[in-house]
Chain A
Amino acid sequence: MRKLFGEYSQIIGYTCTGLVFGLSFFLLFLNFYHYKEVSIQTDKTKYVDDTYQKIMTNNEKIKNIVQNFDVNRYTGSENDYGLLSIQSRLEMCTKDFEDQKIASYFQKEKLSVSDIYDFGSLYNSKIVNSCIVKELYDFFASTPTNADSRFSSPKILNVTPIMKLEADSLIRRIDYVSSNLENNSSYYFNNKRARNHVFNVAKSSYYAIVTSYGDASDFLLEISNWFARYIGGAA
Chain B
Amino acid sequence: MKKIFNGLFYFLKFLLFVASFSLTLLIIVQMYNRLGKDVFDSIPVFVPYLCLLILFIINILLRQKSVTKCVFYNITCCLVFGTILVVGLRAMFDSNMILRAQLGRKINFNFFDYFIPFMKVMLYGLSISNFFLMFTGEKKEKKLAKLIKEEDIEQVI
How many chain-A residues does the 8 Å CB contact rule pick out? 36
* Bound CA span A16–B125, Å: 6
Contacts of B95 in A (CB 8 A): 114
Interface of B is mostly: helix
Contacts of B126 in A (CB 8 A): 17, 20
* Bound CA span A32–B118, Å: 16
Q: Which of B88-117 contact A (CB under 8 A)?
A: 90, 94-102, 108, 110-111, 114-115
- A16 engages B132 (CB within 8 Å): yes
Q: Which of B113-150 contact A (CB under 8 A)?
A: 114-115, 118, 121-122, 125-126, 128-138, 141
* Bound CA span A7–B137, Å: 8
* Bound CA span A17–B78, Å: 12
Q: Which of A1-57 contact B (CB under 8 A)?
A: 2-3, 5-7, 9-10, 12-17, 19-21, 23-25, 27-28, 31-32, 35, 38-39
Any chain B CB within 8 A of the CB of A117? yes
Any chain A CB within 8 A of the CB of B73? yes
From B86, B110, B129, A13 is in contact (CB under 8 Å) with: B129
Contacts of B79 in A (CB 8 A): 21, 24-25, 28
Name the distance in Å between B92's Cβ and chain A's nearest Cβ: 13
Category for how many chain B residues contact A: 35 or more
- A23 engages B118 (CB within 8 Å): yes
Stretch touching chain B among A84-92, A158-166, A181-189, A219-227: A181-189
From B76, B83, B101, A17 is in contact (CB under 8 Å) with: B76
* Bound CA span A114–B96, Å: 5
Any chain B CB within 8 A of the CB of A66? no
Contacts of B138 in A (CB 8 A): 6, 10
* Bound CA span A10–B130, Å: 10
From A2, A7, A35, B94 is in contact (CB under 8 Å) with: A35
- Using CB atoms and an 8 Å cutoff, list the residues of chain B in contact with chain A: 66, 70, 72-73, 75-76, 79-80, 82-83, 86-87, 90, 94-102, 108, 110-111, 114-115, 118, 121-122, 125-126, 128-138, 141
6 cross-chain pairs, A with B, having the tightest CB-CB distances, nearest first: A13-B132, A6-B137, A16-B129, A185-B99, A20-B125, A13-B133
